[in-house]
Structure 1
Amino acid sequence: MDLPEILNRLQLSGETDAPSPSLLPGLPVAKVLSQIQELLQDEKTSKTKEDVLQDTMRLFESADSQWLFSNCCHSEGSDLGKVYVDFTGVLVQYAALPHCETESEELSESWCSIIPGKACTVAGVLLRLVRRLGAANVVLPCSSTADPVRSLLCKLLPPVFVFCAAHMQGLPWTNVQSELAARELLAASVQTAGCETLTELLCGKSSDDDDEGILGAVLELLKPEMKKETWKLNQATKHVFSWTLIQPAAALRQFNRAHVLYHALFNHLYTPEAHLIQAVLPCLLDLLSVLEKPPQKAGDPRKATRYDEVLRLVLTHMEMEHKIPLRRVYARNIPPFIERLGIVIVRHLKRLERVIVGYLEVYDGPEEVARLYTLQALENTIQHAWPRMASRLDVLVKSLLRLIYDVSTDCSPTPQAVREDLLQRAVHCLILLHHCCDQELRTALAGVHRTCPVTRVLECIEKVQQDTQ
């Protein structure tokens, strides 16, 4: 299929007809791209958007490089770069998630089934465009074209990267096909940019001071959607931001970019909005892996780090927090921090113990999210800080026994599966405490049979005692 036929299928009109792709058609590429944008944005067009995109793929496969990119050489084509950037933005928007008012507003099944197909098609169009840009540096005869074409590529790569990151992470709006398409597009982008790795694409080549990579441009693209007023609107943004942070550690350290991001995220910890806290804490954990050495491997374990700064503030807020949604979010994010801190969690045991005991006392709804994650936090704490558990055994055992009794006797609408999960985790915590403090735990449990008539409680204690034997 030659170029005039493709243009005809797209229902575009030119001033003259061209007999072959080797001759420039009367319709400039800028006008073609603008009209394709209009077709993609027009709900009344007679062609389906999928048909338009399929024809656009053929356009980038068949059109001559001179026609596609040569105007980049000339002053009259100075706006062509903007046309391509706008065109790429419309493509990305076609496969974007619908805006949501809150993070808890989940995508409907219909959207989750529609988006992967759209993403595959958009990835196909962008893949062909990126490859043609890469070939244009070699094919075009005009030597002055190479730099303008590369400049155009650099403008397109940041939105292409953001698109790939949003559709390749195994999220609810992706499937195997869309993830593979996004990964193929990202790999082609790395190759076309002349880079060997994704990190090099983001950070630039260390040997070339003029090549800083695309990280700064990517962060600028994400910045408008990461503000307090807008972060809820696009569910993909936080995943893209978090995934990007862990790829280019060296570039984030350079020019104190990581420090700027850290302070911006840290300040958000003072917000009372549960959905914002849920977005910020995982990002902070990823960012801390860039800023700090792993705490358990630090040369001087007594030296406080930003891990301690964040956890200290979070535990302070947890201790005072009474709103159930916020308690759930805090409880969900504490276990990863404990895992990351390792043995260094001993610095925070006094406050952490108060938080664990306080959260285990409060019923937080049928799903018991806060109490389940609090038990996970306790498990992690015992495993990492077991030498310090003996002095806290009485408080922890009383709290766990109270929880077992409450769950075994309450009349709440909690599903049976959730009750069993709570009981099993509580029993596991007691078993872990047994491995730390064998004789002390036997003594603490000795009087339970004489004072508690509840069968389910006694069964749980029996499991612990069987392990101790």
Structure 2
Amino acid sequence: MAEERSDSGLTGYTDPEILNLMESVSGHGHFSLRISTLERCVSAVKRCSQGDVSNLMKDPYIGRFFIAVQHVLQAAIIPPFDSRYYFSYCEDDFKGFSQITELVLSLISELINLWKQHLTEGDRLKTSSFNSTAKSMEINFVTKGDDTDIPDFSWLYSNQMKLLIIIGAHLKCGLWSSTRTQMLSNMLLQQLMINHNNSVSEFLCAKTRFCPVSESIPKYRSDWEKSSLLTQILDHCKLPLGKEQWQKNPFLAEAFTWTISNVRIPHLSDHINQIMVTSLNFIDDHQAVNKVRGIKLLHHLLQNTSAEEMRWYNRAEVIYESLKHQLYSKELEVQQNLWPCLLSLLQVLEPGRSDHELIRHHDVFETLLREAESENLLAIRRVYMIQLKDFTTQIGIGCVRHLKTLVRVIEQYLEIEDGPEDQARCGALALLHTVITVAWPRLNQHMQKIVHSLCKFLLDINSNDATIGQISSDARMHMNEQAVDILKLLKQIAPNLQPCLKALKESNVLANLEPILKRVL
């Protein structure tokens, strides 16, 4: 390594030396060497003068500078685990990467600030055309051939794809990131999005034209000459996230997930097949974290494409067959994400409202009821109550086909206390309210069982033992309100219920319920 010189351009380093330093970052196999090299790069760039910036953005250095930035970014991208035969990862597998990424993001941020400062202090007239173009959706890089001091941002825009992969992989995943890298990633993303009104979707989908300013900068593929960052990232991920390779690329899988999750309708329409294939690969994995990732991506895809597009080529059918295999999973997070995704999918598959058009709705609803009835885990019981309510709302009067089982499940869930907030029992009351609202013409034969279970439930939560138990006062108040609303609905459906409730109110046996029944009558 060349020694520092006080008379050199970059505060101790000559222009070729700083470029050599940046280019050598990704070549170091040992983390300590990469970190020390990056620290020296950051230190040198922080002390750069405007003259140094001007030198780097001109020939013969601009081409090498472009390559040097590529090497720096490559150092922060975690390579695939090609020699590994098991694919369950922990933090120990990624030691050192958070520190490297922190330095890489700091270096890029400093370079962006220097270039922007140079633009701000330059001739406004000379840079007006650059400013107007940079703010448009289609960014044209400055071409070679003038003598102005317009700063050349091609080094940044041409490397944005890799930069966004790093940012996307670090914003949420905790295996290889830290609080510092998450903060820097978010800050750098805001810097890049400055002309896109804080919309990540708009930023990812804006068309960018690549016009290299030097012959030393590699030529891009013809189909990248005018393409969005979304297209570039998906094209980059296609092979590494294939069926045989994706498990070896956890870093790229996280970046892919972040990218797709931040793109809104209609920009996903051209990429449905690739997103579907990758998501289905995730779902087929044995690990819950990957199943959840795949389900979330498919749900996002369903919400950001048209139903017609998803029905083309039996796409929705393929997704349905894959999700059916997850119906019996006992992982909480899988269940929390699976049922809302299935509900959205069924709306695509069966958009009609008549009962004979909802065959799959009834099949899934029957499975959900069966699983809810036999479930003992409280956390999953809470999920089932929420999803049963949503499915009942969507099926409507068609739920009478399952009414006997529905009433039995509600009765069963009202009997078991569920901690201080009693979420499962609150969910059961909300489900009962929905059932009464949509299926009231067919409730007469179940009325006695419903009223009996409600009174038993009210006695349970308002008894002296319950007041000193684990149920919070807010939860008890909320459940009493729900029960009162349900009894008022039942009274409207069955007028003969009025004298029955009046007799209960006057009975000494149910003295604890007198204040509640008084509100109903």
TM-score by shorter chain over 0.5: yes
Partner deviation per Cα, 1:415-458 (whole Å, 9 max, x = no partner): 11111111111111111111211x22113313213434555411
Is residue 230 from structure 1 mapped to residue 306 from structure 2 by the alignment?
no
Partner deviation per Cα, 1:383-413 (whole Å, 9 max, x = no partner): 1111112222111111111100111113321
Is residue 441 from structure 1 mapped to residue 497 from structure 2 by the alignment?
yes
- 1:33 is aligned to 70
Matches within 5 A, 1:84-103: 86-98=162-174
Aligned residue among 364, 367, 381 for 1:327: 381
Please tell me the residue identity of whatever aligns with 1:423: N
1:127–1:232 CA distance, 2 compared to 1 (3 A): farther
- 2:268 is aligned to 202
1:152–1:442 CA distance, 2 compared to 1 (3 A): closer
Moved more, 41-50 or 439-448: 41-50
Note the C-alpha offset of 1:264: 1.1
SS in 2 for 1:252: helix
1:376–1:136 CA distance, 2 compared to 1 (3 A): same
Instruction: Extract unaligned runs of 5+ from structure 2.
Output: 1-8, 24-51, 78-95, 120-140, 145-151, 197-202, 238-254
Aligned residue among 23, 26, 29 for 2:59: 23
SS in 2 for 1:260: helix
1:47–1:320 CA distance, 2 compared to 1 (3 A): closer
Is the 8 Å Cα contact of residues 65 and 136 (structure 1) preserved in structure 2?
no
Matches within 5 A, 1:279-294: 279-294=337-352
Instruction: Extract unaligned runs of 5+ from structure 1.
Output: 71-79, 101-109, 168-185, 187-197, 204-212
Please tell me the residue identity of whatever aligns with 1:424: E
SS in 1 for 2:496: helix
- 1:463 is aligned to 519
Between the aligned partners of 2:181 and 2:166, the Cα distance in structure 1 is 17
Between the aligned partners of 1:14 and 1:132, the Cα distance in structure 2 is 34
Partner deviation per Cα, 1:123-166 (whole Å, 9 max, x = no partner): 54377896898342589899996424346852325888843564
1:423–1:312 CA distance, 2 compared to 1 (3 A): same
1:53–1:20 CA distance, 2 compared to 1 (3 A): closer
1:373–1:138 CA distance, 2 compared to 1 (3 A): same
- 1:374 is aligned to 428
Note the C-alpha offset of 1:250: 2.7
Note the C-alpha offset of 1:289: 1.7
Note the C-alpha offset of 1:374: 0.7
Moved more, 368-377 or 216-225: 216-225
Please tell me the residue identity of whatever aligns with 2:450: L
Percent identical pairs in the alignment equals 21
Between the aligned partners of 1:324 and 1:334, the Cα distance in structure 2 is 15
Is the 8 Å Cα contact of residues 258 and 290 (structure 1) preserved in structure 2?
yes
Please tell me the residue identity of whatever aligns with 1:255: Y
Between the aligned partners of 2:295 and 2:220, the Cα distance in structure 1 is 40
- 2:19 is aligned to 13
Please tell me the residue identity of whatever aligns with 2:57: P
Matches within 5 A, 1:326-345: 326-345=380-399
1:144–1:85 CA distance, 2 compared to 1 (3 A): closer
Matches within 5 A, 1:352-363: 352-363=406-417
1:117–1:341 CA distance, 2 compared to 1 (3 A): farther
Between the aligned partners of 2:115 and 2:362, the Cα distance in structure 1 is 53
Moved more, 352-361 or 33-42: 33-42
- 2:462 is aligned to 408
Please tell me the residue identity of whatever aligns with 1:330: Y
Is residue 364 from structure 1 mapped to residue 418 from structure 2 by the alignment?
yes
Between the aligned partners of 2:325 and 2:283, the Cα distance in structure 1 is 13
Aligned residue among 233, 246, 256 for 1:156: 233
Partner deviation per Cα, 1:12-47 (whole Å, 9 max, x = no partner): 514999846353625263442221342687555697
Please tell me the residue identity of whatever aligns with 2:304: Q
RMSD of aligned residue pairs (Cα, Å): 4.3
Give the count of matched residue pairs: 398
Considering only CA atoms, is the larger Rg found in Structure 1 or Structure 2? 2
Between the aligned partners of 1:240 and 1:452, the Cα distance in structure 2 is 57
Between the aligned partners of 1:221 and 1:420, the Cα distance in structure 2 is 47
